[in-house]
A and B are shown apart, each in its own frame.
Chain A
């Protein structure tokens, strides 16, 4: 099980700050999370970056039980 970390607006949309998800890749984690948390979460994910252990990751990157996947929505900057 990988740990999914949901930050800021992603946390709000999902209703939880973290979740354990059993999946083999980043894309699979996000797909399962989208099914679990629904449309508001999917809308945030669509504009977010995804990091694995603090580094930006592609959907096909493999993940294991020790990995932390973070959904990182845009920030206000400025």
Chain B
């Protein structure tokens, strides 16, 4: 039976990087790269951030993430498994908001594909982040248009 090679999810559930890494580990893979994007206290605002609040349309976001993983497979055909999970709703400081896991036989393509995936997710997936501090909140500075994965530099 073929193992699943892609796991994309956008949900309010806490993320489980270790579970994704274990899922991506394959007998023929010598590299499993995990990237966790975590909520931090600092931002462009002069406040200490205590939590982030992410908002999107789940179906739209998941379809855009799948376009990213498809592009990564075109560029790095050696890659075996790709998982991209993004949390929505409230994410406390130190918790992961997004996790990317890529496995491949050798480390170079795993690192490169994982970096491509997180960079492309940030540019191509409609996901808005509200920064929350004691007594206030605001949308993160909105500086970049959401683009199609085909518009990204090769």
Contacts A56-B148, A73-B128, A75-B146 given; does A9 touch B139 at CB 8 Å: yes
Contact across chains for A8 and B141 when beta carbons are under 8 A apart? no
Size category of the binding interface on chain B: 20 to 34
| Segment at the interface with A among B5-13, B25-33, B52-60 | B52-60
Size category of the binding interface on chain A: 10 to 19
Contact across chains for B126 and A8 when beta carbons are under 8 A apart? yes
Contact across chains for B60 and A76 when beta carbons are under 8 A apart? no
B63 interface hit (Cβ, 8 Å)? yes
B144 interface hit (Cβ, 8 Å)? yes
B140: A residues at CB distance < 8 A: 76
A74: B residues at CB distance < 8 A: 142-146
B50 interface hit (Cβ, 8 Å)? no
Contact across chains for A7 and B55 when beta carbons are under 8 A apart? yes
Contact across chains for B57 and A75 when beta carbons are under 8 A apart? no
Contact across chains for A47 and B60 when beta carbons are under 8 A apart? no
Contacts A7-B56, A56-B148, A70-B57 given; does A76 touch B126 at CB 8 Å: no
B71: A residues at CB distance < 8 A: none
**Closest Cβ–Cβ distance, residue B8 to chain A (whole Å):** 15
Contact across chains for A7 and B129 when beta carbons are under 8 A apart? no
A54: B residues at CB distance < 8 A: 60, 63-64
Contact across chains for B57 and A5 when beta carbons are under 8 A apart? yes
Contact residues of B with A, CB < 8 Å? 55-57, 60, 63-64, 122-123, 126-129, 139-146, 148
- Give 30 pairs: A residue, B residue, CB < 8 Å, sorted on A: A5-B57, A7-B55, A7-B56, A7-B128, A8-B56, A8-B126, A8-B128, A9-B128, A9-B139, A9-B142, A47-B142, A56-B148, A70-B60, A72-B146, A74-B142, A74-B145, A74-B146, A75-B126, A75-B128, A75-B129, A75-B142, A75-B145, A75-B146, A76-B139, A77-B122, A77-B123, A77-B143, A77-B144, A78-B122, A78-B144
Beyond contacts A49-B145, A76-B140: 19 other A-B pairs, Cβ-Cβ < 8 A, are A5-B60, A7-B56, A7-B126, A8-B55, A8-B139, A49-B146, A54-B60, A56-B148, A70-B57, A70-B126, A72-B146, A73-B128, A74-B142, A74-B144, A74-B145, A74-B146, A75-B122, A77-B143, A78-B143
